[in-house]
Amino acid sequence: MSIFDKLKKTAEDAVKSAADAIGNKSETFTFAALPESLAEMQALPEASLDSPFKTAALTVCALCAYAADKQIGIDMLNWLRGPEPLSTYAIQFLDDRFRDGYHVIFSYFKDAKPENDYTPSEPFTLTFYTNPYSAENKGYMKLFINSGGADNARYVVLRQRASDGKWFLNDQFLLVGIRKAKSDDPWA
């Protein structure tokens, strides 16, 4: 075995070990009400940010807040991002995504689907899950969530701060197109 093959095998073994450690895991979060301020978000048990799942769930909550009040949403997202606040470009991207309405972000809650105009059942329930590749990059975690308006899962990327082990939002791929809500579909 050449030195290149040995290095390649070591790297492959490390990725497989990380994937085996995380496995196919899911976590469900239930909120009696969605937070309407940063203080309300920080008072939630998930605000410990000690797992990537908690941070992912709060990301959806923050995006819901953004749909209702841009500044509150920005405050929440900046807190979830830790030492790297949203850039001007990221805020413009969010503005663009919410221009067509708020349905996309609510589509991730349990029972939200086109037929009921993406109205989630209460309490508000979110389920995130991993796959074998979720932990392939050290210090990062990719978590997936299903949308009632899409066939494929969407995901968020979380980054762990080495100094305290807390997980922060690195990027989100949640605000992409979904099927039209029944009330918005002229063919429904």
Print the domain residue range for 170: 21-177
For the chain, report the end-to-end CA distance as a whole number of angstroms: 62
Look at residue 140 and tell me if it is in a domain. Answer: yes
The total of structural domains in the chain comes to 1
pLDDT at 182: 84
In a domain, 93, yes or no: yes
- Residue 45 forms part of a structural domain: yes
184 located within any domain: no
Q: Examine residue 4 and state whether it is found in any structural domain, yes or no.
A: no
Predicted model pTM: 0.86
**105 in a structural domain:** yes
Q: What is the pLDDT of residue 1?
A: 64
Q: Has residue 116 been placed in a domain? A: yes
* Separation of alpha carbons 103 and 176, rounded Å: 11
Going residue by residue through the chain (188 aa), what tens digit of pLDDT does each one get? 666 566 556 655 554 554 455 568 999 999 999 999 999 999 999 999 999 999 999 999 999 999 999 999 999 999 999 999 999 999 999 999 988 777 889 999 999 999 999 999 999 999 999 999 999 999 999 999 999 999 999 999 999 999 999 999 999 999 988 888 887 777 76
The 3-state DSSP class for residue 170 equals strand
Q: Is residue 186 part of a domain?
A: no
Please give the structure tokens belonging to residue 156.
């968020």
CA distance 127 to 107: 12
DSSP 163: T
* pLDDT recorded at residue 8: 57
